[in-house]
Amino acid sequence: QVQLVQSGSELKNPGASVKVSCKASGYTFTTHAIHWMRQAPGQGLEWMGWINTNTGNPTYAQGFTGRFVFSLDTSVNTAYLQISSLKAEDSALYFCARVDLQLLLDYWGQGTLVAVSS
C-alpha cells in the first residue's frame, strides 16, 4: 500500500538549518510528484510548492523561495525539505504528499513538527 513516512520532530535554534525527509513506498516513486505543505499552530494549510520526482525540478510558492529547498534521493525513494536560517515563524507542522494522475494530492505523510526556539 502507498505510504509516505516523514522524519521525526525537530527542535532547532534560530539561524540553524533543518532537513525533513519523506520516504515513499508502495508505488513507483518517480511517477508521482511530491508536494510540501506547512501548517502553523492553529492555522490552516499553506502550500509550499512541489518537486517533479522524475526530473528533480522544484517549484516554489511565493514566500517559500530562498531559504527553502526541495530535493530527492531516488535511490531510496525519498524527498527532502531543507529550511535554512530558521526563524521562530518557521515553527510549524510540515507535510509531504504525493499527487495522483489528476494532480490532486492523494496520500500524505504524517507530518513533521519543526520547533524553532532559543
Q: Which residues bind other proteins (CB under 8 A)?
A: 4, 35, 37, 44-47, 59, 61-62, 95, 97, 99-100, 102-111
Least distance (Å) from other proteins to the CB of residue 63? Answer: 9
Burial 99-110 (b: 16+ CB within 10 A, else e): beeeeebebebe
Least distance (Å) from other proteins to the CB of residue 108? Answer: 4
Least distance (Å) from other proteins to the CB of residue 15? Answer: 28
Which residue's CB is nearer to other proteins, number 82 or number 108? Answer: 108
Three cell numbers, residue 66: 530562498
Which residue's CB is nearer to other proteins, number 89 or number 104? Answer: 104
Which residue's CB is nearer to other proteins, number 32 or number 35? Answer: 35
User: How far apart, in whole angstroms, are the C-alpha atoms of residue 101 and residue 59?
Assistant: 18
Least distance (Å) from other proteins to the CB of residue 52? Answer: 13
Which residue's CB is nearer to other proteins, number 75 or number 101? Answer: 101
User: How far apart, in whole angstroms, are the C-alpha atoms of residue 9 and residue 13?
Assistant: 14
